[in-house]
Amino acid sequence: MGVEELGKRLSMSTRQELISVVRERYARATGAERRRILDEFVSVTGYHRKHAIRLLGGTPRARGGGGEPRRVYREAERAALIVLWEAADRICGKRLKAALPTLVAAMERHGHLRLEPAVRERLLAMSAATMDRLLADVRERAQGRRRRRTAVNAVRRQVKVRTFQDWGDPAPGWMEADFVAHCGDVAAGSFVHTLTLTDIASGWTECVPIVVRERTLVVEAVRAVQADLPFALLGLDTDNDSAFMNEALLDYCRGAGIELTRCRAYKKNDQAWVEQKNGSVVRRLVGYGRLEGLAGARRLGRLFRAARLYVNYFQPSFKLKEKRRDGARVSKRYHAPATPYERLLANERVEEPVKERLRAEFARLDPVALLREIRAAQAELAAPGAEPADETDDLAPFLSGLARAWEDGEVRPTHRQAATGPRTWRTRVDPFEEVWPVVEVWLEAEPERTARELLGRLQTAYPERFPDEQLRTLQRRVKAWRSTKAQDLVFGASRSAAA
């Protein structure tokens, strides 16, 4: 009789005894011995190798049980994650994972969050994939992105060409520059442009509104950016636009000790760093609407003044680490997401006084206050003639709206589409309205109880009053109750008492 035939004839009790005996040997064995034991165990039992590894290498999990109201804590984690996702301007899970430690600490420091220790620990330990999974339905309801557009630039051959491969690992201060046109649907007439400058080493991004694309205004914009940068401007890489390729900018760069280079014509990947920021920063903030004249430039300038601090100090971004080509296949590897501020602190070529100034500025910044300023500036851009909202030092109304902002869809006024009003009426009488206080007492005593179990107790207490078809209605009621309790765990019970 072979070992496979023997494995088929083993009884369940015999298999359990065999597992317990082999598990002890497997735990004490070395790597080579483990492989031999595993081969014998698979041959005798007929189990799949992965299943055998789980049986021998781990202990079975305990199922069920009471203890903490797990459902409420799961809702608390999700509620806190939604608030932090909104406060981080709806970035992806990988970037949000990198931003959470800084963002949670900053929001708690300014009194915007009061997380329970258990909720905070699980939230910070959450993986990026879990964050994306928990936010999937929220993103689906709030989505509405549009693809950015690019323009074809004219060829100019007045300065040295620099390709994407030529950058290597430069020190902070080597920046790429590009224009973003705010022309709306028709690229005709006079409209505002954004001059975007991105540092290669850190990703630090500066945006300046320009009324018209003109060489002298470009020089003034570069001079203004130099005054705001935390490091010296060493080099400027542009495309072949005539607003860059001219004697005015070339003379200024030579006089200021700035090396001026350009990309190849029709090779936009040579300026991949700034092209990325054109989409992830400028278009994300401003959208695709048309802006004209000095008034439009002033409104855009207000938005960029708040956004430069928010983006550079609180928005992690990806940075390419390695790029390989194998035939037609291109493989890319990235560094872990980090903010430009964090990359500057980690860079050994940045002097310590500069790092101290950055730390001092970071300590006084409130990400929620900056986000509110960004939303207010976006609202002004979207509706120039509207009455501006009264802004006070109290951030509580804005903060409380972050938890439910996803329900209204697009939150950025510059990207918002015309939406129908929410339904505020009921089509049927609530069958649980009279007995809900009783159900609420049951939930307070045993929060882990399911809606089906609660419906069973109601059917016992009130015979023939609550049919099985009303389970979905009760589930909605219980879900709303757990959501309220989760908000208390995130923001503290004092907020509910004050409300």
What is the C-alpha to C-alpha distance for residues 50 and 131, in angstroms, rounded to an integer?
27
Q: Is the pLDDT of residue 63 over 80?
A: no
Burial (0-12, 13-18, 19+ Cβ within 10 Å), 448? middle
Collect all residues with Cβ–Cβ distance below 8 Å to 5 and sequence separation of at least 6.
none
Query: What pLDDT does 420 receive?
Result: 64
| C-beta separation of 6 from 44 below 8 A | yes
Q: Length of the chain, please?
A: 499
| C-beta separation of 44 from 8 below 8 A | no
**% of the chain at pLDDT higher than 90:** 43
What mean pLDDT comes out for the span 454-480?
90
Question: Could you tell me the residue ranges of all domains in the chain?
Answer: 3-57, 73-142, 164-350, 436-498
Q: Is the pLDDT of residue 236 over 50?
A: yes
Q: Is the pLDDT of residue 316 over 90?
A: yes
Got the DSSP string for 236-287?
EEE-S-TTTSSHHHHHHHHHHT-EEEEPPTT-GGGGHHHHHHIIIIIIHHHT
Query: What pLDDT does 265 receive?
Result: 82
Q: Is the pLDDT of residue 67 over 70?
A: no
What is the C-alpha to C-alpha distance for residues 377 and 425, in angstroms, rounded to an integer?
34
Q: Is the pLDDT of residue 365 over 70?
A: yes
**% of the chain at pLDDT higher than 70:** 87
Predicted confidence (pLDDT) per residue in 182-195, tens digit: 998 887 888 999 99
Q: Is the pLDDT of residue 91 over 60?
A: yes
Q: How many CB atoms lie within 10 A of CB 233?
A: 21
Question: Which residues partner with 323 through β-bridges?
Answer: 332
Query: What pLDDT does 152 receive?
Result: 33
What confidence category does residue 368 fall into, taking pLDDT thresholds of 50, 70 and 90?
Answer: very high
What confidence category does residue 425 fall into, taking pLDDT thresholds of 50, 70 and 90?
Answer: confident
173: its two tokens: 């201060």
Give me the chain's average pLDDT, please.
84
Task: Confirm or reject CATH 3.40.50.2300 for domain 164-350, answering yes or no.
Answer: no
What confidence category does residue 66 fall into, taking pLDDT thresholds of 50, 70 and 90?
Answer: very low
What confidence category does residue 384 fall into, taking pLDDT thresholds of 50, 70 and 90?
Answer: confident
Predicted confidence (pLDDT) per residue in 243-272, tens digit: 888 888 988 998 999 999 998 888 888 999
This prediction's pTM: 0.65
Q: Is the pLDDT of residue 8 over 90?
A: no
What is the C-alpha to C-alpha distance for residues 290 and 186, in angstroms, rounded to an integer?
9
